[in-house]
């Protein structure tokens, strides 16, 4: 399990470094997903399968989908569509694919011949205990985090809207209004 932990840690560091240094947002998102999956493998290797599952479901799943939607909202015109097609060529998936294959091999090795799962000292938490704590005494913090994410999404939608299309719509609407007024 130590080998799995160190391999996943190296992959997490390399993928995070690529996330920071990528010039294109789509590539950075791909590397960030690989980095989050590597951290989940580290949690599993440390003996925290529930934390690993939460890492995959919440961060690599839900938050990354939100990021992808925001990136899609910010790229609205035809020029960016052509540029994204250029970015998503198969050779650009080699880096994240190699990192993901290393993580998969490390996980398969750890689950089959790697031995027992390491154990984190301390209290073991079940999914029920985490949910009861999250929506019990910390319900206000959970709701505030949800409102913060919603506010970030609204701001991204506002920033990402295409001003040129809106101006054209207003001009067309204004032309229709003057035409109907002139016909009367």
DSSP codes of every residue in 80-104? HHHHHHHHT-GGGGHHHHHHHHHHH
Considering the domain architecture, whether residues 35 and 106 belong to the same structural domain is answered as: yes
* DSSP state, residue 61: I
Beta strand extents in the chain (DSSP E only): none
Q: How many CB atoms lie within 10 A of CB 135?
A: 11
111 or 31, greater pLDDT: 31
27 shares its domain with 88: yes
Q: Tell me what percent of the residues of the chain surpass a pLDDT of 90.
A: 2
Overall number of domains in the chain: 2
Residues 141, 93 share a domain: no
Average pLDDT rounded to a whole number, residues 99-116 = 76
Clarify whether residues 78 and 103 are in a common domain: yes
**Residue range(s) defining the domain that contains residue 134:** 125-184
Residue 84's pLDDT is 66
Average pLDDT over residues 44-49: 84
Q: What angle do CA 54, 59, 65 make, to 5 degrees?
A: 130
Q: Which conformational region is residue 134 in: left (phi greater than 0), alpha (psi within -120 to 50 degrees), or beta?
A: alpha
The reported pTM is 0.52
Residues 110 and 137 in one domain: no
Same-domain pairing of 1 and 65: yes
Report the pLDDT value the prediction gives residue 100, as an integer from 0 to 100.
Answer: 81
Are residues 142 and 174 located together in one domain of the fold?
yes
* DSSP conformation letters of 135-152: TTTTHHHHHHHHHHHHHH
State the CATH number of the domain containing residue 67. Answer: 1.20.120.1200
Which of 122, 144, 167 is a domain's end point?
122
**86 and 174 housed in the same domain:** no
Question: Are residue 137 and residue 96 in the same domain, yes or no?
Answer: no
Give 148's pLDDT tier (boundaries 50, 70, 90). Answer: confident
Q: Mean pLDDT for the chain?
A: 76
- My answer on whether 112 and 177 are in the same domain is no
Task: Give tens-digit pLDDT for 49-78.
Answer: 888 888 888 887 787 777 777 776 665 566
- Residues 93, 166: one domain? no
DSSP class of 75: -
């Amino acid at each position: 399990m130590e080998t799995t932990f160190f391999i996943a840690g190296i992959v997490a560091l390399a993928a995070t470094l690529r996330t920071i240094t990528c010039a294109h947002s789509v590539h950075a998102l791909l590397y960030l997903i690989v980095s989050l999956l590597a951290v989940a493998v580290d949690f599993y290797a440390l003996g925290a399968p529930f934390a690993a599952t939460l890492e995959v479901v919440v961060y690599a799943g839900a938050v990354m989908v939100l990021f992808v939607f925001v990136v899609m909202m910010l790229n609205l015109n035809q020029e960016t569509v052509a540029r994204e097609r250029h970015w998503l060529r198969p050779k650009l998936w080699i880096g994240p694919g190699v990192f993901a294959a290393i993580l998969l091999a490390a996980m398969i090795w750890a689950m089959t011949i790697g031995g027992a799962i390491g154990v984190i000292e301390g209290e073991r938490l079940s999914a029920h205990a985490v949910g009861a704590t999250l929506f019990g005494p910390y319900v206000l913090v959970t709701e505030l985090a949800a409102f913060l994410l919603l506010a970030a999404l609204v701001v991204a939608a506002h920033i990402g809207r295409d001003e040129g299309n809106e101006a054209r719509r207003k001009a067309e609407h204004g032309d229709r209004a003057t035409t109907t007024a002139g016909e009367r």
